[in-house]
Chain A
Amino acid sequence: MSQQHFDRRGRGGDGEPDADGAPPPTAPAAQSAERDAALDSLLDEIDGVLESNATEFVHGFVQKGGE
Chain B
Amino acid sequence: MGVETEFGVNATFTGTARLSPEEVSRYLFRKVVAWGRSSNVFLGNGSRLYLDVGSHPEYATAECTDLLDLVAHDRAGEIIVQDLAHDAEQRLAEEGFGAVVYVLKNNVDSRGNSYGSHENYLIERRTRMERITETLVPFLVTRQLVTGAGRLHVTEQRATYLVSQRADHMWEDLSSATTRSRPIINTRDEPHADPERHRRLHVIVGDSTMSQTTTLLRLGTTHLVLQMLEAGTVVPDLVLANPMQAIRDISRDPTGRVPVRLRRGGTATALEIQEELLGLTTRYAEGAGLTEHPAYRDVLELWERGLHAIATERLDLVDTEIEWVMKKKLLDSYAARHDLDPWDSRLQQLDLAWHDIHPSRGLVRIMERSGAARTVVEPERITAATTTPPPTRARLRGDFVRTASEHRRDFTVDWVHLKLNDAAQRTVICKDPFADEDPRVEALIEHIRGGGGAHT
B104 touching A61, Cβ below 8 Å: yes
Q: Does A33 contact B (CB under 8 A)?
A: no
A65 touching B345, Cβ below 8 Å: no
A57 touching B116, Cβ below 8 Å: no
Assess A39 versus B333: contact at CB under 8 Å? Given A49-B360, A61-B110, A65-B54. yes
CA distance A38 to B53 in the complex (A): 42
Residue ID in chain A nearest B333 by CB atoms: A39
Q: B9, B179, B367: which contacts A63 (Cβ < 8 A)?
A: B9
Binding-face segment, B239-247, B349-357, B403-411: B349-357
Interface residues of B in 328-357 (CB under 8 A from A): 330, 333-334, 337, 344-346, 348-350, 352-353
A50 touching B349, Cβ below 8 Å: yes
Q: B179, B349, B363: which contacts A57 (Cβ < 8 A)?
A: B349
Cβ–Cβ < 8 Å partners of B350 in chain A: 46, 50
Total number of residue pairs linking A and B with CB closer than 8 Å: 109
In the assembled complex, the CB of A19 is this many whole angstroms from the nearest CB of chain B, namely: 20
How many residues of chain A get a CB closer than 8 Å to chain B's CBs? 26
Q: Does B6 contact A (CB under 8 A)?
A: yes
Cβ–Cβ < 8 Å partners of B110 in chain A: 58-62
Q: Does B269 contact A (CB under 8 A)?
A: no
In the assembled complex, the CB of A20 is this many whole angstroms from the nearest CB of chain B, namely: 20
B115 touching A65, Cβ below 8 Å: yes
Cβ–Cβ < 8 Å partners of A61 in chain B: 8, 10, 104, 109-110, 352
Cβ–Cβ < 8 Å partners of A49 in chain B: 353, 360-361, 366
Q: A42, A43, A63: which contacts B54 (Cβ < 8 A)?
A: A63
CA distance A39 to B204 in the complex (A): 34
CA distance A57 to B111 in the complex (A): 13
Cβ–Cβ < 8 Å partners of A58 in chain B: 110, 345, 348-349, 352
Cβ–Cβ < 8 Å partners of A65 in chain B: 53-54, 113-115, 179
CA distance A40 to B56 in the complex (A): 35
In the assembled complex, the CB of B100 is this many whole angstroms from the nearest CB of chain A, namely: 8
Q: B12, B55, B115, B182: which contacts A60 (Cβ < 8 A)?
A: B12
Cβ–Cβ < 8 Å partners of A56 in chain B: 12
Q: B9, B55, B100, B182: which contacts A67 (Cβ < 8 A)?
A: B182
How many residues of chain B get a CB closer than 8 Å to chain A's CBs? 46
Q: Does B80 contact A (CB under 8 A)?
A: no
Q: In terms of DSSP, what is the predominant structure of the interface of chain A?
A: helix
Residue ID in chain B nearest A51 by CB atoms: B12
Cβ–Cβ < 8 Å partners of A51 in chain B: 12, 100, 349, 353
Cβ–Cβ < 8 Å partners of B361 in chain A: 49
CA distance A61 to B106 in the complex (A): 12
Interface residues of B in 1-16 (CB under 8 A from A): 6, 8-10, 12
B109 touching A63, Cβ below 8 Å: yes
B21 touching A46, Cβ below 8 Å: no
In the assembled complex, the CB of A1 is this many whole angstroms from the nearest CB of chain B, namely: 24
Bitwise, A17-46 to B at CB < 8 A (1) or not (0) is 000000000000000000000111111011
In the assembled complex, the CB of A59 is this many whole angstroms from the nearest CB of chain B, namely: 6
Cβ–Cβ < 8 Å partners of A53 in chain B: 12
In the assembled complex, the CB of B120 is this many whole angstroms from the nearest CB of chain A, namely: 14
Bitwise, B57-69 to A at CB < 8 A (1) or not (0) is 0100000000000
In the assembled complex, the CB of B243 is this many whole angstroms from the nearest CB of chain A, namely: 19
Q: Does B370 contact A (CB under 8 A)?
A: yes
In the assembled complex, the CB of A64 is this many whole angstroms from the nearest CB of chain B, namely: 3
The 3 A-B residue pairs with the shortest CB-CB distance, nearest first, are A66-B115, A64-B54, A67-B178
> A: which residues have CB within 8 A of B?
38-43, 45-46, 49-51, 53-67
